[in-house]
Amino acid sequence: TQLLEQSPQFLSIQEGENLTVYCNSSSVFSSLQWYRQEPGEGPVLLVTVVTGGEVKKLKRLTFQFGDARKDSSLHITAAQPGDTGLYLCAGEEKKSSGDKLTFGTGTRLAVRP
Amino acid sequence: NAGVTQTPKFRILKIGQSMTLQCTQDMNHNYMYWYRQDPGMGLKLIYYSVGAGITDKGEVPNGYNVSRSTTEDFPLRLELAAPSQTSVYFCASSHPRGHYSNQPQHFGDGTRLSIL
């Protein structure tokens, strides 16, 4: 079973601060997805990164896929209370039996006004 | 489109009881998945299906069964509920991923299950 470790597990910051969340594995994935989950809801996709070294930006969020496609990071600039939630990375395996996602352990972010 | 609909939203079971968690999607997705999420944790794959009539085990299938008789529905059954099965269960669906395109998984809002 492939494992994805996220760090930190919990993060509480003040509005306006910057932060980075890391997602690490010893395995190579064909792509990596980042989701955000709010209480009482299912995860919602933020972005998919496919190519080693790829960088994608979504407003104040910057996602990077490691060159070896084993790790990824999410950087948030000038965090806002609306960014509060559980951030999950998920590595994709393409197999003949079907595409599967392996989810990371999650990073719970709280942004204080 | 309603997306992925899960019922019930909440349920309390006694040890040894059985129940079926319902999941239906109206997006004509081939792939469907069941996950469980324990407090403060990520999601663990229980079972998945790549199409009607086809199911496969995920990471934590013990104590669960699934069926996929139609494209739309993917029910998850607990035969003998145990306290270790207390969790939030999420159903998801997606299109198959082509070689150059990546399709997101669409999740329902979850079923919160407590076994006492």
A43-90 tens-digit pLDDT: 999 999 989 999 999 999 999 999 999 999 999 999 999 999 999 999
B44 touches chain A (CB under 8 A): yes
Work out the average pLDDT over A88-104: 80
Which residue of A4, A42, A99 is in closest CB contact with B110?
A42
- Does B101 score more than 60 pLDDT? no
CB contact B88 to A (< 8 Å): no
Give B-chain residues touching A6 at CB under 8 angstroms.
42
pLDDT > 50? residue B88:
yes
Q: What is the mean pLDDT of chain A?
A: 91
Rounded Cα–Cα distance for residues A32 and A48 (Å):
6
3-state secondary structure of A83: helix
Interface mutation target, options B7, B43, B59, chain A, most CBs of A under 10 Å: B43
Name B88's bridge partners. Answer: B37, B112
- Beta bridge mates, B25: B4
User: Which of B31, B45, B102 shows the shortest C-beta gap to A50?
Assistant: B102
Q: Is the pLDDT of residue B100 over 50?
A: no
Per-residue model confidence as pLDDT tens digits over B7-17: 999 999 999 99
Q: Residues B39-85: pLDDT tens digits? A: 877 899 999 998 999 999 999 999 999 999 999 999 999 999 999 99
Q: Is any Cβ of chain A less than 8 angstroms from the Cβ of B79?
A: no
User: Residue B14: what pLDDT?
Assistant: 96
- Cβ separation B107–A31 shorter than 8 A: no
Minimum CA–CA partner of A41 in chain B:
B109
Provide the residue type at A95 as one letter: K
Q: Is the dihedral of CA A80, A82, A83, A84 positive or negative?
A: positive
For residue B102, name the pLDDT band (cuts at 50, 70, 90): low
B33: nearest CA partner in chain A: A100
Is the CB of residue A82 less than 8 Å from the CB of residue A18?
no
Question: Count of CB atoms within 10 A of residue B109's CB?
Answer: 16
Average pLDDT of A12-39?
Answer: 94
B34 touches chain A (CB under 8 A): no
Task: Give me chain B's average pLDDT, please.
Answer: 91
Q: Would an 8 Å CB–CB cutoff place A88 in contact with chain B?
A: yes
